[in-house]
Amino acid sequence: MNERIERLRTESFEAPVTLDHERAEIITDFYRENNGKYSVPVTRALAFRTLCEKKSIYIGKDELVVGERGPLPKCVSTYPELNCHSLEDLEILDTRDKNPYRVSEKCKEVYRDKVIPYWRGRTMRDRIFADIGEEWKNTYAAGYFTEFMEQRAPNDPEATKRREQLKAMDIACDAVIIFAERHADLASRMAASESDPARKKELEKIASNCRRVPRRAPGDFWEALQMYWFMHLGTITELNGWDAMNPGHLDRYFYPFYARELENGTLSREWAKELLSAFWIKFNNHPAPPKVGVTAAESGTYNDFTNINLGGLLKSVEDAREGGTSGCVETGAFGKEAYILTGYLNTPKIFELALNNGIDPVSGKRIGPETGDPSRFRTFDDLYGAFEKQLNHIVEIKVKGNQFIERMYADYAPAVFLSVLTDDCIKKGRDYNDGGPRYNTNYIQCVGIGTMTDSLSALKKHVFEEKAFSVEDVIQALRSNFEGHEAMRLTFVNKTPRWGNDDDYADDIMKRVFESLFSEIDGRPNTKGGRYHIDMLPTTCHIYFGSITGATPDGRKAGLPLSEGISPVQGADRNGPTAVIRSCGKMDHIRTGGTLLNMKFMPRILEGEEGIDKLAKLVRTYFRYDGHHIQFNVVDSGTLRDAQAHPENYRDLIVRVAGYSDYFCDIGLDLQEEIISRTAHEEV
C-alpha cells in the first residue's frame, strides 16, 4: 500500500459518521414548490436533477476517483419522502453508545423548522399506514413479520404513462451528467491553483474524466472507474442506501480497459492497482461492498485484473450467468432484475400462535385463526397442522400488504434513474418499481428455522413420543419463561435431537418446516408480473424477533435471539463442523434465493497451510452438498470479550454478522453477545 492510499484509507477510516440534512432540505424545498405540477415520474426525475444541481460536491486532497453521497466522506443523507425522522430519532442517533451518527444543531434546526412540518403525513410510510388494513397493522406490530421494500393505442392512459416515464428517464440522464460536469469544474479550479505539478496533472485528468463520463462511453481505465462511480452515486442519491446496490461483475467490466492499456503501455499494473485502491476506498464510505462473479464459459473466472482487484431462479441461462450475489447472499440477475426483499417472517412466533389457539401471548390479541386448544392435540401431526394453518394466515396477510405497498411505490416513488440502468425498463416504458425490469422477483426472508426445528423436535420426542411432559405442562412452562421448570428446560436443551448434528430425527423436521415455508410462499404472484420465493437469512432480524418472542420449547428463554440464518441454534451444534454441513446439506438450497450458514473457529486450528487446506476442503464439501453460502469468524471469545471491555484497542476488528461484515465495536450489545454465543469449533 503506497503513501497516498494509506492516507486515503486512514482518512476514510477516521472520518466521523455524520447525519447530513442537505439532501432532506433540498428535496423538501423542491416538493414544497413543485408537488402536483407534473406527473409523478417527472416530479421524481426533476427532484433528482435538482439534487444533482445543488448538492455540495467534494474532491479530497489525494483523491483519484471523485464524488460523495453527502458533502463530505461518511456523511449520510436522509430520505424524508420515504420516512421522515423525528427530533427524537435525531437525538437517539446523536447520543447512542453504539454506532452513533453525529447530528449537528443546524441539522436538528432544519428538521424542526422545515423538513418535519412539510413531510408530516406525506411520506411513503405515512401513506402506507394510513391506508393499509388493520389486520396487517396488528400483525406487523406484534412482530410476526417486518417490512424492508408493449406500446398501446393512441389515447390509452397506459401510453401517456409510458411517455411520462420515458421523459422522466431522459431528465434523470441529464441530471447525472450535470453532476459530473460540476465535479469537472471544481477539479479545473483546483488544478489552476495547484502548485504541485504532479497533483496539478492529476486534477486536470480528473476534470477531463468528469467531462467525458457519463456523457460518453469511457475511453480508458481511469474513466471507466469514474463512470461506474457516478452511476452508483446516482442510484444512492435517488434511493435509500439500504437498497444495497450491487455493482455487479466489476472485474469483467473493467478488464477490457485494463488489458488494452496494459498492452499499449499507457497503464502500468502498479498504477492500475493504485486507481483501484482509491476506487475501493470510496466504497468504504458507503454500505454494500461489491462482489465478483462468473463468465458464461466457466465458473470462477480468474485473470490478472481479478488478482489485483481481489488482493438464478426462473431466469435464462445467459441472464443467470450474468448475475451473481445481490444484497447479502442472495442471487440476482445483475442489471435485469427488480430484486425486492419484502421483509422477514418470524417463524417461531407464528408457532406461538399454534400453541395459543391464535392468540398472541404478548398482546393478548387474536392474531391468527382458532386452530384448536393445544391441550387436546393427540398427535404431533395435530400440532404441526395447527402451525401450518397459522403460517398460511400470516403469509396471506403479509403478501396482501406487500401488494398494497408495491402499488404505492409504483404510483408515488418511481425509481427513475435506476430504471435507466435496468434492462427492459426503457423498452417497456415502465419504472423499476412498476414491472419495468426483465425479472420482477419478490423474496420473503424466513427467520429462525433452527429454533423452530429444535422446538418441534423437543415436543415430538418428549411430549408426543416419550410422554415425559404434557402439552399443558409445556405451555405453562413457556408462559412462565421456565421459572419453576428448569428441569424441563434442561431436558429440552440436553436430551433433544437438535438441528446441526447430522441427526436425521431433527434434520427431517427441518426439511418438513422448509417444505411448509416453501409451499406457502413460493410461486405467489406479485403485482409486477413476477413471483414470490423464499430466502433463508435474517440480516439482524433474529435479534429483534427474539426480543419480542416468548420462551420456546427448545429451552430458549424469552427475549433471547432466535437462531441465525440456517445455522444451528447457538451452542446446539455439538458434533463438529462436518456434522453441521451434513445437516445443512439436507436442505434444498436450489429452491431458495439464498441461504446463510455462519460458523466460528478458534484461530489456532487455522494456523499454517494445513489449517487453511482443511478449511478449503470443508467449504468444497459443503458445495458438493449443494450448499449455497458459508462464512466464518475466526476469533476466540476471549478476544471478543476484551474488545467489549476495551473497544479503543480493537477499532479495526471486523466480524461476519449475517450476510455482511461490520466492525465488532460498532454493533449493538445484543448482536455482540449473539456472535460470541455461536459455537467456536476447535477442529475442522
Task: Read off the pLDDT of residues 386-444 as tens digits, 9 standing for 90 and up.
Answer: 999 999 999 999 999 999 999 999 999 999 999 999 999 999 999 999 999 999 999 99
70 plus 169 within the same structural domain: yes
Cβ-Cβ contacts under 8 Å for 396 (sequence gap 6 or more)? none
Nearest alpha-carbon partner for 288 in 321, 319, 329, 322: 329
For residue 479, pLDDT over 50 is answered with: yes
User: The C-alpha cell of 538 is what?
Assistant: 435474517
Angle, vertex CA 295, rays to CA 294 and CA 300, nearest 5: 40
Residues 221 and 336 in one domain: no
> Is the confidence at residue 16, as pLDDT, over 60?
yes
- Residue range 291-313: mean pLDDT, rounded: 42
How do 661-663 and 654-656 pair as beta strands? Answer: antiparallel
Say whether both 301 and 348 belong to one domain: no
Going by pLDDT thresholds of 50, 70 and 90, the confidence category of residue 147 is low
Question: Is 330 considered catalytic here?
Answer: yes
536-552 burial string, b = 16+ CB within 10 Å, else e? bbbbbbbbbbbebbbbb
Which range has the worst mean pLDDT, 147-151, 560-564, 568-572, 622-626? 147-151
Catalytic residue among 84, 107, 210, 328: 328
- Mean pLDDT along residues 549-554: 98
Interacting residues of 29 by C-beta distance below 8 A, sequence separation 6+: 114
Question: How many angstroms separate the Cα of 250 from the Cα of each of 245, 291, 310?
Answer: 13, 8, 11
Domain termination residue (choose one: 322, 356, 383): 322
- What is the DSSP secondary structure assignment for residue 17, as one 8-state letter? P
Weakest-pLDDT range from 119-128, 290-299, 306-315, 426-435 = 290-299
Nearest to 489 by CA among 557, 543, 395, 426: 557
Residue 564 CA to residue 546 CA, distance in Å, equals 10
Q: Are residues 318 and 373 in the same domain?
A: no
Helix (H, G, I), strand (E, B) or coil at 445: strand
Given this model, what pLDDT does residue 315 score? 66
- Among 44-58, 553-567, 607-621, the range scoring the smallest mean pLDDT is 607-621
Spatial distance between the Cα atoms of 573 and 60, rounded to a whole number of angstroms: 49
8 Å CB contact between 506 and 573: no
Q: Is 328 a catalytic residue?
A: yes
Sheet holding 630-634, edge to edge: 630-634, 597-601, 680-681
Q: Is the pLDDT of residue 99 over 50?
A: yes
CA distance 255 to 109: 48
Residue with grid cell 447512542, as numbered in its chain: 96
Report which of 534, 569, 536 is spatially closest to residue 555, judged by C-alpha positions.
Answer: 569
Cβ atoms of 447 and 344 within 8 Å: the answer is yes
Three-state DSSP at 248 gives coil
Residue where a domain stops, chosen among 322, 352, 371: 322
Residues 193 and 238 in one domain: yes
Is 90 exceeded by the pLDDT of residue 487? Answer: yes
Residue 317 phi, psi (nearest 5): -60, -40
Please tell me the predicted confidence (pLDDT) of residue 311.
42
Give me the phi and psi of 216, to 5 degrees please: -130, 170
- Tell me: cis bond preceding 289? Omega within 30 of 0 counts: no
Percentage of the residues of the chain whose pLDDT score is greater than 90: 71
The tens digit of pLDDT for each residue in 173-193 reads: 999 999 999 999 999 999 999
Are 313 and 374 within one domain? no
State mean pLDDT over 63-92.
93
Helical packing angle, 221-238 and 157-193, nearest 10°: 130
Domain CATH number, residue 143: 3.20.70.20
Do 575 and 655 meet the contact criterion of CB atoms below 8 Å apart? no
Q: Identify whether residues 369 and 298 lie together within a single domain.
A: no
Question: Cα-flanking dihedrals φ and ψ of residue 326, to 5°?
Answer: -120, 145
Q: What are phi and psi of 392, to 5 degrees?
A: -60, -45
Which of these is catalytic: 25, 223, 261, 330?
A: 330
Question: How many domains does the chain contain in total?
Answer: 2
Cα–Cα distance measured from residue 142 to residue 397, given in angstroms and rounded to the nearest whole number: 13
Using DSSP bridges, classify how beta strands 532-536 and 661-663 pair: parallel, antiparallel or unpaired.
unpaired
pLDDT at 330 > cutoff 60: yes
- 0.85 exceeded by pTM: yes
- Asked if residues 630 and 581 have their Cβ atoms less than 8 Å apart, the reply is yes
Q: What is the DSSP secondary structure assignment for residue 589, as one 8-state letter?
A: G
Cell of 124: 411513503
Beta-carbon-side half-sphere exposure of residue 438 (alpha carbons within 13 Å): 18
pLDDT for residue 463 is more than 70:
yes
| DSSP three-state, residue 102 | strand
Domain boundary, last residue among 274, 300, 322: 322
Among 186-195, 215-224, 277-286, whose mean pLDDT is lowest? Answer: 277-286
Q: Interhelix angle for 3-14 vs 269-284, to 10°?
A: 0
Mean pLDDT (the chain, rounded) = 90
Instruction: Say if CB 57 and CB 64 are below 8 A apart.
Output: no
Rounded Cα distance, 374 and 387, in Å: 11
Question: Under a CB-based contact definition with an 8 Å cutoff, are residues 635 and 603 in contact?
Answer: yes
**Cα–Cα dist 456/351, whole Å:** 9
Which of 134-138, 198-202, 252-256, 629-633 bottoms out in mean pLDDT, i.e. has the lowest?
134-138
Domain hosting 224: range is 3-245+249-322
Arithmetic mean of pLDDT, 661-678: 87
Q: Are residues 393 and 291 in the same domain?
A: no
Residues 185 and 213 both lie in one domain: yes
Going from the C-alpha of 617 to that of each of 140, 299, 521, 681, the distances in angstroms are 43, 18, 34, 16
Tell me the DSSP string of 269-303. Answer: HHHHHHHHHHHHHHHHTSSS-------SS-SS---
State residue 155's pLDDT score: 43
Cα separation, 476 vs 482, whole angstroms: 8
Res. 384 pLDDT band, cuts 50 70 90: very high
- Whether residue 451 contacts residue 538, with contact meaning beta carbons closer than 8 Å, is answered with no
Asked if residue 307 has pLDDT above 90, the reply is no
- Residues 657, 585, single domain; the answer is yes
Check whether residue 316 and residue 337 sit in a common domain.
no
Residue 607: partners with Cβ closer than 8 Å, 6 or more residues away = none
**Residue 219 CB coordination number (10 Å):** 14
- 682: pLDDT confidence band, cut at 50, 70 and 90? confident
Q: Is 54 exposed, middle or buried (0-12, 13-18, 19+ CB in 10 A)?
A: middle
On the question of pLDDT at 144 being above 90, the answer is no
Q: Is 36 left (phi over 0), alpha (psi -120 to 50) or beta?
A: left
- The cell for 581 is 454441513
Q: Which three cell numbers stand for residue 303?
A: 485473470
Query: What is the C-alpha separation between 538 and 642, in angstroms, rounded?
Result: 27
pLDDT tens sequence across 494-529: 999 999 999 999 999 999 999 999 999 999 999 999
Residues 231 and 375 in one domain: no
Do 73 and 285 touch, CB atoms closer than 8 A? yes
